[in-house]
Chain A
Amino acid sequence: MAKQLIDQAAATLPADKRVSVYQSTKATHEKRTKLLFDQFNDPDLLRQRAGEIKQHVIENLDTLLPAVEAKLKANGAQVHWASTGEAACEAVLRIMQAHGAKKMVKAKTMVSEEIELAHYLEKHGIEALETDLGEFIVQIDKDHPSHIVRPIIHKNRREIATSFEREGLGAYNDDPETITRRARQFLRHKYLEADVGLTGANFVSVESGRIVLVTNEGNSRFSLAAPKVHIALVGIEKLVPRDRDLGVLLNLLARSATAQQLTVYTEFISGPKGATQPDGPEEMHVIFVDNGRTEVLASDCREILRCIRCGACLNVCPVYRQASGHAYRSVYPGPVGAVLSPLLAGKKFPELADLPKASSLCGACNEVCPVNIPIPDLLLRLREKGKREGAPLASVGTPPMGAWALMASQPTAWKAALFGGKALNYLPTKLIPVPALRAWEEKRALPAWRGGEFRKWMKQRRKS
């Protein structure tokens, strides 16, 4: 029986990578759980509240987006709208060209990965340097992130030391502190040379027009210290209605993502440099990116837009732990990616139609989600879509169900099969005519067939 692509990827993942992904995700998940349950009486209630806040946002974008635009403008920022990834890239380029800018420092933004901004800018002769340590390593290795919060979860320090040596950042040394110090030294100069600092946004408050950024390395702060222009790339779903909603969401985000009470840096940016401020960007541009999100909003999977990109579902997911992030062939891996990536793919949905299959539907992702997204339900809806639209990848390894449904809706046929199945007890595996049963027997023994025995017993019992 054919195997799914993600299963093949897991089967060929080198053992050392699997071990580092497993150990790291397991440790973070366990710390996260302990922290939440030690510190809050009812973390599940908090997750529900956070989910309601974000659900309110996605259901009211039509009024919240114009409101936040007005607020941002009042704060002195310029607001741009990009309906596609391409339009967002062009908007960034236009701003850079208007300033004759050639160098950009980037703090981590998933949206820029999504729209492949660095690649686009490079083609137009602009250096866009990643300043998040993990993203920086991904960039010098021409690799891809494999986790939403920990882009290099699939790498070990020996690989990183080798990359640094290759890039002329110093002789081979795999001591983590040395690696970090070397990256810092290299990046400090880049911050000073940059014309533009680009960030994402974890949240944007509609009430105050504040952009909220969380990092642990301070790189977003450095990215905004020297450059004269700040560009923020923001998915249209990133809003929160009021500043005080951040009390709920920030508390959950750091705990869910990295098992911290709060990230080391939490920045609130409410516009470009003011008249009395000595430093900071003189111009601030906020680019709201749609890139398929309004279509997701119109679908029956809209709850996925609540996502705050914490990665908790990746950390707990047994499939992600076995397969790692690259197996998902998209920017967003793991359970959230298995929903979001095929949806954002739009017309290319069939190319990722296997992702929603990569789940035993165990529900652990929903159990940890800080905004309580019913991920298993959404995976099921996308499986139905894949099947309905006849996407070949969606059906790999899944037996056709038509004949089974016919039998399971006719008691006579069902009973005949129950008794007839006894033949299985005498057939060698290689002669079993059902591919799914043979696939089962590759890894597990099949129990003895006892079809109809209970029914006989029940009849006997009723007679006596």
Chain B
Amino acid sequence: MHAPVRPSPFAPGERPKIQLMATCLCDAFYDDVARATVEVLEHLGVEVEFPEGQTCCGQPAFNGGDWPASRKVVRHTLRTFAGTAPVLLPSGSCAAMLRHGALLEFEKESDLPEVKALAARTWEFADFVVNALGVKTWPGRYDATIAFHRNCHNRGTGSEAASLALLNSIAGAKVVPFGEQEQCCGFGGTFSVAFPHVSSSMGTLKLDHIRAAQPDVLVSGDMSCLMHMGGLAQKAGQPIKTQHIAQVMRDALRNGGLLR
């Protein structure tokens, strides 16, 4: 879990190029998050390649204990994201699957070295912007009070500090603290349907803490957490506004007239 912050994979002066893995949630539900990711990266001069054959990171089966099924999907991802360019995901959870989970389930497999190589060039969005591109502050304007949910897969990685640094640097944005910030939102993949009571109770508690801080928007680096909390709030008849950090950054550029 405690992965050290990695150095930039790019040489000084080199035009950064990445392969985007949109993740299944953005592929199915949150196209605007994937769009914002592309717009932010291109604004930063990054060349974004989108391998058409991509599907999923394999996490659902990995967490479900069906490692042979999960390995099948990871192997597909290995083939789809061939080469040496960094693989970028707008999700701490999917990034953690490729960086850490896959290593566990491939421990005794002959293609472990390939999986390790993929893990080494996999990046979560905010971690990439700050630690691979060296961007420390974000331009534009975003007038809102933000509750930032640290997604659990970012525990101990460079992503949390990176996300907070970016959000705090935006003109007009104010990140507010709330109670029990270290606690999980209760999503947990299939946990949410196998443990519906515990999962929704965790989410409701989280929402209570967030609402007490009266933010304009709930921001995270993971659409799975936001889908859970947003879905719970909507079902309870008290919808809340949620945004991925890439959307906040894209909107800040737009508001500042910096996006073509």
B contact residues around A388 at 8 Å (CB): 65, 67
Inter-chain contact B201/A367, CB cutoff 8 Å:
no
Size of the chain A interface, CB-CB below 8 angstroms: 77
Inter-chain contact A361/B1, CB cutoff 8 Å:
no
Inter-chain contact A384/B183, CB cutoff 8 Å:
no
Q: How far is the CA of A111 from the CA of B61 in the complex (A)?
A: 36
B contact residues around A394 at 8 Å (CB): 65
Given contacts A361-B63, A409-B55, contact A401 B69 (CB under 8 A): yes
The proximity string for B residues 175-194 relative to A, scoring 1 for CB distances below 8 Å and 0 otherwise, is: 00000101110111111111
Asked if A414 CB lies within 8 Å of chain B CBs, one says: yes
Q: How far is the CA of A449 from the CA of B191 in the complex (A)?
A: 22
Asked if A453 CB lies within 8 Å of chain B CBs, one says: yes
Asked if B231 CB lies within 8 Å of chain A CBs, one says: yes
The proximity string for B residues 65-109 relative to A, scoring 1 for CB distances below 8 Å and 0 otherwise, is: 111011011011000100000000000000000000100110000
Of chain A, the residue at the smallest CB distance from B232 is: A444
Asked if B199 CB lies within 8 Å of chain A CBs, one says: yes
Interface stretch among B30-38, B110-118, B139-147?
B30-38
Interface stretch among A81-89, A235-243, A454-462?
A454-462
The proximity string for B residues 139-177 relative to A, scoring 1 for CB distances below 8 Å and 0 otherwise, is: 000000000000011011000000000000000000000
Inter-chain contact A458/B50, CB cutoff 8 Å:
yes
Given contacts A360-B188, A387-B66, contact A443 B196 (CB under 8 A): yes
Residues 1-60 of B at the A interface (beta carbon under 8 Å): 1-2, 22, 24, 26-31, 34-35, 38, 50, 52-56, 58, 60
A contact residues around B258 at 8 Å (CB): none
Additional 20 contacts, C-beta under 8 A, given A360-B195, A405-B66: A3-B197, A7-B194, A7-B196, A26-B180, A318-B198, A322-B197, A322-B201, A357-B194, A383-B64, A383-B65, A398-B64, A409-B73, A409-B75, A410-B76, A444-B227, A444-B228, A450-B29, A454-B22, A454-B26, A461-B38
Asked if B131 CB lies within 8 Å of chain A CBs, one says: no
Given contacts A367-B1, A367-B182, A397-B193, contact A445 B27 (CB under 8 A): no
Interface CB pairs A-B, < 8 A, 28: A1-B193, A3-B194, A7-B195, A7-B198, A26-B180, A318-B198, A322-B197, A357-B195, A359-B188, A361-B189, A362-B188, A364-B155, A367-B156, A381-B104, A384-B65, A387-B67, A401-B69, A402-B69, A404-B69, A405-B66, A407-B55, A408-B55, A409-B72, A439-B193, A443-B200, A443-B231, A444-B234, A458-B38
Q: How far is the CA of A450 from the CA of B55 in the complex (A)?
A: 15
Interface stretch among A60-68, A177-185, A330-338, A372-380?
A372-380
Asked if B123 CB lies within 8 Å of chain A CBs, one says: no
Give chain A nearest CB distance to B168 CB in angstroms: 21
Inter-chain contact B65/A386, CB cutoff 8 Å:
yes
Residues 1-27 of A at the B interface (beta carbon under 8 Å): 1-4, 6-8, 10-11, 26
- Chain B interface, DSSP helix/strand/loop, else mixed: helix
Size of the chain B interface, CB-CB below 8 angstroms: 71
Q: How far is the CA of A1 from the CA of B235 in the complex (A)?
A: 19
Asked if A232 CB lies within 8 Å of chain B CBs, one says: no
Inter-chain contact A384/B196, CB cutoff 8 Å:
no
Asked if A125 CB lies within 8 Å of chain B CBs, one says: no
Which of B69, B152, B199, B232 contacts A361, CB < 8 Å?
Answer: B152
Inter-chain contact B30/A450, CB cutoff 8 Å:
yes
Q: How far is the CA of A453 from the CA of B35 in the complex (A)?
A: 10
Asked if B202 CB lies within 8 Å of chain A CBs, one says: yes
Inter-chain contact A398/B231, CB cutoff 8 Å:
no
Asked if B230 CB lies within 8 Å of chain A CBs, one says: yes
Q: How far is the CA of A366 from the CA of B153 in the complex (A)?
A: 12
Give chain A nearest CB distance to B94 CB in angstroms: 13
Q: How far is the CA of A2 from the CA of B197 in the complex (A)?
A: 12
Number of residue pairs spanning A and B whose beta carbons lie under 8 angstroms apart: 222
Of chain B, the residue at the smallest CB distance from A411 is: B53
Asked if A446 CB lies within 8 Å of chain B CBs, one says: yes
Inter-chain contact B155/A367, CB cutoff 8 Å:
yes
A contact residues around B22 at 8 Å (CB): 454
Asked if B125 CB lies within 8 Å of chain A CBs, one says: no
Inter-chain contact A360/B186, CB cutoff 8 Å:
yes
A contact residues around B128 at 8 Å (CB): none
Asked if A440 CB lies within 8 Å of chain B CBs, one says: yes
Q: How far is the CA of A444 from the CA of B38 in the complex (A)?
A: 29
Given contacts A367-B182, A404-B69, A450-B31, contact A319 B198 (CB under 8 A): yes
Given contacts A444-B234, A445-B231, contact A414 B55 (CB under 8 A): yes
A contact residues around B202 at 8 Å (CB): 318, 322, 360
B contact residues around A377 at 8 Å (CB): 104
Of chain B, the residue at the smallest CB distance from A26 is: B180
B contact residues around A448 at 8 Å (CB): 29
Most buried by A among B27, B75, B198, B203: B198
Give chain A nearest CB distance to B227 CB in angstroms: 6
Q: How far is the CA of A404 from the CA of B63 in the complex (A)?
A: 14
Inter-chain contact A447/B29, CB cutoff 8 Å:
yes
Q: How far is the CA of A367 from the CA of B155 in the complex (A)?
A: 8
Which of B1, B196, B234 contacts A445, CB < 8 Å?
Answer: B234
Q: How far is the CA of A380 from the CA of B105 in the complex (A)?
A: 9
Most buried by A among B66, B188, B227, B228: B66
Inter-chain contact B195/A449, CB cutoff 8 Å:
no
